[in-house]
Amino acid sequence: MSRLGKFLASSAVAGFMAAAPALADPLADALGLGRAALPEEIAAWDVAVMPDGQGLPPGHGDVWDGEDLWIDHCAACHGDFAEGAGAWPPIVGGSGTLTDVRPLKTVESYWPYLSTVWDYINRSMPFGAAQTLEVDEVYAITAYILFSAGLVDADFELTQDNFTEIRLPNEDGFYIDDRAEVEFPVFTQEPCMSDCRGDVTIVARATDLDVTPEFPVIRNLYSDPLHPEAARDNSIEDAAAQPVEDDSANEVQLASLDPELVAAGEMAWRQCRSCHQLGDGARNGAGPQLNEIVGAAVAGVDGFRYSPAFEAARDEGLVWDAEMLDTFLENPSGLIPRNRMSFRGVRDADERAALIAYLKSHTD
């Protein structure tokens, strides 16, 4: 609630909020719970920035510093020039597309106020490491976005003093939500209480549309070191329905892998492919392509810009062997803290084993 303080203080609700502590105190006292928040406690949470500049902290940042920060913190997901990368959205471009069937909603085409840009970066970015940027860094990244959108020149410096002078192209494209007065009365009617509809028939399921991944259930994989064959025979359900295609280049490698395990890994790979690519024509996107990754040095894929955390791991000599991959897949941020990979990890050990086998199938 305290994060909304700036909005509430600038609205008609502010008068009620000022009176609310007095109304709540008797109940709090009776229950012996809580106390009134101190001004400095409210200030620590009250980070909202309004279109008129209210709540904006003092600071400054120019386009050139913003470019360096963008490469370090933003480019892996949003592209070097804010054009988007992989499954992650572009931040600029899309001018004139709002009437298209698939409009491109960006700072340049859709967002109404610069305060929205600054506030969102300050609160939520970088993804997976929110609120780690300094105030001046947020100013600089915002300046770089404005430059990438063609709204300022290369020598532009954004400060709290010139902030409200910047107008985004779609500022006039928004209007007050009047549905309660205009639309609700038209569509409001007495509820139907009997014989409202006929029999309900299910005509399709999410799995029919292939929007719900189906992962094989993998149990007790190689759990008995003395009788691995017995465990293998009963460890994977449904994986046999996904045969591995014959690849002569990987014939020797695949001969040493369990085809059912590789097939299970291919199915589990669906959760990875939005950022990573494998196979012929694989290229870097939001994450590096992962051909030949097993046995390779950490942060060693050519052409991909790694975060400082991955570069430090590489300098320490970490190698993506099976054990290291298993540890990383289970908890990416645990093995390499402060890396930019936002994936939560794979908790099931057998699923990790299947993924590693699938990666091995793409390693000569």
Please answer whether residues 27 and 21 qualify as being in contact, where contact means their C-beta atoms are separated by less than 8 angstroms: no
Element (H, E) at 157: strand 157-159
- The strand pair at 60-62 and 157-159 is best described as antiparallel
Please answer whether residues 325 and 356 qualify as being in contact, where contact means their C-beta atoms are separated by less than 8 angstroms: yes
Domain 228-360 sits in CATH 2.60.40.420: no
pLDDT at 250: 43
Side chain identity, residue 24: A
Topology agreement, domain 60-173 and domain 228-360: yes
Q: What is the C-alpha to C-alpha distance for residues 103 and 105, in angstroms, rounded to an integer?
A: 6
Scanning the structure block, which residue is given the tokens 């051909």?
Answer: 291
Q: Which fold has domain 60-173?
A: Cytochrome Bc1 Complex; Chain D, domain 2 (1.10.760)
Q: What is the C-alpha to C-alpha distance for residues 269 and 276, in angstroms, rounded to an integer?
A: 9
Positions of E strands within 215-300: none
pLDDT at 353: 92
Please answer whether residues 97 and 33 qualify as being in contact, where contact means their C-beta atoms are separated by less than 8 angstroms: no
pLDDT at 213: 56
What is the DSSP-derived secondary structure letter of residue 292?
Answer: T
Q: What is the C-alpha to C-alpha distance for residues 57 and 159, in angstroms, rounded to an integer?
A: 9
User: Helix, strand or coil for residue 85?
Assistant: strand
Judge if the upstream peptide bond of residue 126 is cis by omega within 30 degrees of 0.
yes
Length of the chain measured in residues: 364
Please answer whether residues 163 and 89 qualify as being in contact, where contact means their C-beta atoms are separated by less than 8 angstroms: no
Show the low-confidence residues of the chain (pLDDT under 70): 1-25, 207-255, 274, 342
- Tokens representing residue 234 in the block: 């009963």
Please answer whether residues 33 and 144 qualify as being in contact, where contact means their C-beta atoms are separated by less than 8 angstroms: no
Query: What is the dihedral angle through the alpha carbons of 299, 304, 309, 313, rounded to the nearest 10 degrees?
Result: 10
Q: What is the C-alpha to C-alpha distance for residues 157 and 328, in angstroms, rounded to an integer?
A: 40
Judge if the upstream peptide bond of residue 103 is cis by omega within 30 degrees of 0.
no
Q: What is the C-alpha to C-alpha distance for residues 39 and 241, in angstroms, rounded to an integer?
A: 63
Q: What is the C-alpha to C-alpha distance for residues 139 and 122, in angstroms, rounded to an integer?
A: 9
Question: What is the domain partition of the chain in residue ranges?
Answer: 2-45, 60-173, 228-360
